[in-house]
Amino acid sequence: MKRLLRGIALLTAAVSFMTFAAAEDVELTLDDTGIVLEEVSYNSVAWDFPIDLTEMDPELVRLANKEVLLSKDFIPEPLMTIPKRKTDSEGNNINGGMNKASSSEMQLQEECAAALVALMEAALADGQKLYLKSAYRSYRTQNTMYYNRLEKNNGKDDGWVTKPGASDHQTGLGCDVVPGNWRDRGMNEQMAAEEECQWMAANCQDFGFIIRYPEDKEDITQINYEPWHLRYVGVPVATYIMDNGLCLEEFQEQLQSAISQFLLNGGERSLVEAYILTSAENE
Ligand SMILES: [Zn+2]
């Protein structure tokens, strides 16, 4: 994370004054084994990163954690209300709803919601019944949850409820998805052994999701392993992250350093500006 912050400082120092319109050039060359290599550049400045800017939506790769806070005014849009599950007399889901009929209303960012419907349908076709347990949480809701937890814990932060502004749930792209038989159980790492969770870990990237808090990245994410917490980032980014065994923080570190390099080489700032990490000051 230190390296990441240094990257941000570098970025702030490098300001590009180029005003001409961006032109994306893709150069194809063959390597000696005959594999096509693609080199992408913008106005002749190389974009040296495995994923092209056109395949990465800055809103979808947004980071929220203890060091990069979301503003208390940040609300993802458009938000979509997830239909509550309606079942017929035989218990079949008849409206495509994803959460329990008795649960309170849930919302997710629209593109993420559509991708989650597709993921759940594919899971069901493979015999895996999944439930949406938690979705978008506003800054205010997170704030209430955090201070309730503190109160119950004699004023001590035990790390189980994330501070307001630092929750992936505020992005509207993070959601907790659990196996059918865990709908009413407290969540813990044991869940990872369930077939449904293994299905999610193996297939989520095809729908644009990643496992946001992997088991081997607790020291980086500073969040315990959560096999249930999916995060939508879009298919190209999800594929890259899952194939390379990264967490979102590591992906962002690579991205921010690619941006620094692009700007140092004279790349146009307006092309990458939306991807540059900034932390909100909520106090
Ligand atoms: Zn979660």
pLDDT digits (tens, 9 = 90+) for 73-122: 999 999 998 876 666 566 565 555 566 555 567 899 999 999 999 999 99
Q: Mean pLDDT for the chain?
A: 86
Task: Please tell me which residue in 196, 226, 249, 268 is annotated as part of the active site.
Answer: 226
- Looking at per-residue pLDDT, the higher value among 130 and 102 belongs to 130
Cα(8) to centroid of ligand 1, in Å?
A: 27
Domains of the chain: 1-57+250-275 (no CATH), 62-232 (3.30.1380.10)
Side chain identity, residue 214? P
Placement of tokens 């209300």 in the chain: 81
Instruction: Report the C-alpha gap between 84 and 138 in whole angstroms.
Output: 20
Task: Output the 3-class SS for 173-240.
Answer: CEEEEEEHHHCCCCCCHHHHHCHHHHHHHHHHHHHCEEECCCHHHHHHHCCCCCCCEEEECCHHHHHH
What average pLDDT does range 218-246 have in this prediction?
Answer: 97
Enter the pTM of the model. 0.84
Tally of CB atoms within 10 A around 69: 23
Cα(144) to centroid of ligand 1, in Å?
A: 16
Does 193 score more than 50 pLDDT? yes
Give the Cα-Cα-Cα angle 155, 171, 233 (nearest 5 degrees). 130
Task: Return the bridge partners of 174, or none.
Answer: 231
Predicted local distance difference test score (pLDDT) of residue 215: 96
Cα(185) to centroid of ligand 1, in Å?
A: 15
- Among 56-65, 80-89, 93-102, 201-210, the minimum mean pLDDT is found in 93-102
196 catalytic? Reply is: no
Instruction: Report the C-alpha gap between 130 and 163 in whole angstroms.
Output: 28
Predicted local distance difference test score (pLDDT) of residue 15: 37
